[in-house]
Amino acid sequence: MPAPASSALRAGELFQVLRDGHARTRAELAEITGLARSTIATRIDALMACGLIGPAGEAVSSGGRPPSRFAFSASSRVVLAVDVGATHVLIALTDLGGRVLDESRAAIAVSVGPAAVLDLVVEQAKHLLERSGRDVRELAGIGIGLPGPVEHSTGRPANPPIMPGWDGFDVPARVQESFGMGGELDVLVDNDVNIMALGERAGFWPVEENLLFVKVATGIGAGIVGRGLLQRGADGTAGDIGHVRLARGDGVLCRCGNVGCLEALASGPAVAAALKAAGVRAESAEDVLDLVRHGSVEAVQAVRQAGRDIGEVLATCVNLLNPSVIVIGGGLSAAGEYLLAGVREVVYQRSLPLATARLRIVQSMAGDRAGVLGASRMIIDHVLSPDRIGALVADA
């Protein structure tokens, strides 16, 4: 890392150097940042006072008293990460490094409305804290992913199609109130595909700056990470690729009211419907996966075709965004190589050679934990940002 030219590197910025978890001496930090050793010492003391860093043993001495090392104390506070799906919720308690300490699952339909779902989430969350022996005051924040469009700046869902009663609902206020806290408890909300993109990157592709996460489930959507940051677009709808029209879809009606949408051709239910129309017994995406596992030629071909359809839209995305990794996640991605083969076939054929020279197209490794890993990351990046840490240290 090059040394910053400015001597105005504050405690919050010095802390970013230590977030990688490696222990360093004052001398090493001075070398990395270009700051005077006395300045480093003052800032280390301030960060230690907040509990964000701690002593991490001693370095090898070149003679005399061995120098102390300091490292990020990831366990100093905890994060609650919530992934609300259409029919279930997954809640995880993580440390500030994103490591899952404990988790809990519950079955509840998002369609029962925000009050019932969030009450259950809060009840389970409090139980997780108690079971881990952590106090509410140790909570750094709560990250929540919802299965529909969300206005990220306010945490309110915006016209979500499968979530009656949620439109415009003040999710952060309800959660803060349930914890007996106000604005001092950070509650951030985003749509599930965006947080899955964050989670997959944080867990498995931390050095990739440009990543596209594609969820293939009941719906199809993408989360875009560009230059290391989630790209939500002007109104938060960036990555909504499910309703791009394909030529092959002529006459196929989509639930959005248009015809020929990618989602109407390649989502889990769409593949099941296509198989059923061809005389194969398939009612759901789970049935399709079962058929694939049992070697059904029709199911394998249908999944591969879904991959080609997705690939057709992704080829355009690749030319537009030039990602280095495309991660395919969501329920139908459990079909593994059959789906990926279809995606790769079309993307590599239709995209410009330079755009695919380094491009990898892979299956999600986070699996059904991508959402909670991302919800945790969303909070961590927020509360450990240079500005927030700077303010915290100044107040201490």
Q: Could you list the residues that contact Zn ion (CB under 5 A)?
A: 243, 254, 256, 258, 261
Nearer to Zn ion, 186 or 263 (CB): 263
Instruction: State how far the alpha carbon of 4 is from the alpha carbons of 9, 18, 271, in Å.
Output: 8, 15, 53
Between 256 and 354, whose beta carbon lies closer to Zn ion?
256
Whole-number Å distance between alpha carbons of 267 and 303? 10
The nearer residue to Zn ion, 258 or 319, going by C-beta atoms, is 258
The number of residues in the chain equals 396
Q: Give the nearest distance from C-beta 191 to Zn ion in angstroms.
A: 17
Specify the DSSP class assigned to residue 250: T
Q: For residues 374 and 230, what is the distance between their CA atoms, to the nearest angstrom?
A: 11
Minimum CB–partner distance for residue 264 and Zn ion (Å): 6
Residue with smaller CB distance to Zn ion, 27 or 256? 256
Q: Which is nearer to Zn ion, 259 or 396 (CB)?
A: 259
> Residue 211: helix, strand or coil by DSSP?
strand
State in angstroms the smallest separation of the CB of 276 from Zn ion: 20
Instruction: Please identify, using beta-carbon distances, which residue of 135 and 250 lies nearer to Zn ion.
Output: 250
Q: CB of residue 245 vs Zn ion: minimum separation in angstroms?
A: 8
Q: Closer CB to Zn ion, residue 172 or residue 242?
A: 242
Q: Which residue has the tokens 């879904």?
A: 306
Task: Label residue 141 exposed, middle or buried (CB < 10 Å: 0-12, 13-18, 19+).
Answer: buried
For the CB of residue 263, give the shortest distance to Zn ion in the complex, in Å.
Answer: 5
Structure tokens at 259: 């015809």
Nearer to Zn ion, 155 or 269 (CB): 269
In the chain, DSSP assigns E strands to 24-25, 53-58, 68-72, 78-84, 88-95, 100-107, 139-146, 150-151, 156-157, 187-191, 211-216, 220-226, 229-230, 325-329, 360-363
| The 3-state secondary structure of 52-117, one letter per residue | CEEEEEECCCCCCCCCEEEEECHHHCEEEEEEECCCEEEEEEEECCCCEEEEEEEECCHHHCHHHH
Q: How far is the CB of 306 from Zn ion (least distance, A)?
A: 15
Sheet holding 325-329, edge to edge: 229-230, 220-226, 211-216, 325-329, 360-363
The tokens for 81 are 């990460």
Q: How far is the CB of 309 from Zn ion (least distance, A)?
A: 13
Query: Rounded to the nearest whole angstrom, what is the least distance from the CB of residue 351 to Zn ion in the complex?
Result: 24
Q: How far is the CB of 255 from Zn ion (least distance, A)?
A: 6
Amino acid identity of residue 361, one-letter, is: I
- Rounded Cα distance between 161 and 190, Å, is 15
CB of 199 to Zn ion, least distance (A): 26
How far apart CA 23 and CA 10 sit, in angstroms, is 19
Q: Which is nearer to Zn ion, 255 or 350 (CB)?
A: 255
User: Is the CB of 98 or the CB of 249 nearer to Zn ion?
Assistant: 249
- Report the residue number, 256 or 278, with the smaller CB distance to Zn ion: 256
Under a CB-based contact definition with an 8 Å cutoff, are residues 98 and 38 in contact? no
Min dist. Cβ of residue 50 to Zn ion (A): 49
CA distance 69 to 81: 31
Give the N- to C-terminal CA distance of the chain in Å, as an integer.
29
